[in-house]
Amino acid sequence: MNTGELLRSLIDIAGLRQKSFAERMYMSPSMISKILCGYRSIGLHDTEEFSSKAAIILAEAIYAPDCCIKFGGVFPVIHDFATRFDLEQFLFDAIRYSINKDNMIDELSGKCESNEHFSAQQQILNMFCIILSDYITENSPDTLEAYSTLLQYGGQNDEIFSRIRILPNAAKRHIIFHQLNDPDVSRVILKDPTSRSLDVLYRQEAHTDLYRWRSKLEIDTFLLLRDHFVLLFNKLLDGSLHMTLIRKEAEVERFCESVAEIMKKATCLSISEDHLHGIFSSMPWIEKYSVAEKIRTLINLEWSQPKPEVIANFFRTITEDGSSVHISTDVLPALLHANQVFLPAVKRIEWPLQARLDHLTFLHGLVRKDPKRINIVNAMLGSIMILCDDELSLLCVVNPTNKKMKYHVVDSRILKYELEKSTARSGINTVEYMQTLLRNAQHEMQQTNRLRSTRTKESTKSREMFDMA
């Protein structure tokens, strides 16, 4: 998005007329029109003044509580603005970034190949959102591929990046996101009561096609958008965070080569439902863990139209060795009301209502027999988690974009820790939850049967009256 397109979008969001905006900028309407249409550029020496004036005018017109949701088409990656000044600074950074980028585009490549540096926390947060939004909203059908070691699991990074919000975006570009985790990070998570690794995973899966990798990392924290840019994060001598934007093609290419070397040694921890049958060839190391048997049980399910007794046997089998199943609050209502199962993949089924009720009654019986075997959790996405007794467990989560199941192998200690915190926060009693669900479904079935019976009687009476006539 160039400067003219950005300003035109922001003026529309502010509800201003171009003439009114021009007057407040002390510029002629024709000059503003030329800038908005891309016929006139703003010189580098005028960048600061123009950006500051425009940001003040636009922030004054736009600011309101939760006003960040207005920017979805322009900044799908954004953060909340506590004050009007926060919004003003964000818009100043965005307009200045766009002007500088337009002025530094190489005539031969058609790309901006300048590098930039950012240091203050607020500026890093602003620019992170602005830069990502700029490439996500780019009018291109190409898939974006990102690699990141930016672990939002606590510390200074978390203080900054936990404020980010992802908004619906008209571009809807497909993003493949490779998250690299150092094995040592689990020690940090288990010692940090504020960690939210499960929430981070859900958020990443909600907006991208997420693949998690385990690798020993001896490199600065980074976010690489292949063929576009690198964001490098490091700490200065005073402990403050510093962010460098690298856009020079040769430097980005060299960084891509370095990441490729890391990926050769990395261990993949995620697989899509389309490739689950080949998991043991792509992840042979998983064989020595009990989660392998859970995956085999999944693979052996009937994928086209699983029967109630098959799914019931699945839950019985995977909990026999003491493993527990944690089901998100979306899953069972989807079974009852939308004829949808989530394992082994998201499928529409042809079970009659009574069969669905029987299946829920069976699960309820398992819970009453051993409350630890099956639990209900309040999760951001539809998911089923299998918590094993050894080192590795399985998180099965629905990607909301392609509606397919993604399987993530996770550290059992971390999953258990996160589930305990989630259960404490939500306060869901699994037995009561399932009793309520059953009671409501049975009531609905009774009402349906009563209505059907009434209609049958009315139809019979109408036929009798017709025959008499």
pLDDT for residue 189: 65
Residue 420 has phi, psi (to 5 degrees) of -60, -40
CATH superfamily of 104-268: Endonuclease Chain A (3.30.870.10)
pLDDT for residue 469: 56
H or E segment to which residue 455 belongs = helix 430-468
Whether 331 contacts 384, CB under 8 Å? yes
Identity at 4, one-letter amino acid code:
G
User: 217-245: string of b/e by CB count within 10 Å (b at 16+)?
Assistant: beeebbbbbbebbbbbbeeeeeeebebbb
**Domain coordinates in residue numbering, the chain:** 104-268, 270-447
pLDDT for residue 343: 79
H or E segment to which residue 197 belongs = helix 197-207
For the stretch 285-318, pLDDT in tens is 999 999 999 999 999 887 677 788 888 888 888 9
d(CA 84, CA 61): 10
Phi-psi region of 245 (alpha: psi -120 to 50; beta: other; left: phi over 0): beta
Instruction: Point out the residues of the chain with pLDDT beneath 50.
Output: 153-154
pLDDT for residue 279: 93
d(CA 318, CA 142): 41
For the stretch 337-383, pLDDT in tens is 888 888 778 888 888 888 888 989 999 998 988 888 899 999 988 99
Whether 40 contacts 31, CB under 8 Å? yes
**Six token digits for residue 373:** 């075997």
pLDDT for residue 461: 64
Q: Is the dihedral of CA 204, 208, 213, 216 positive or negative?
A: negative
pLDDT for residue 158: 66
pLDDT for residue 187: 65
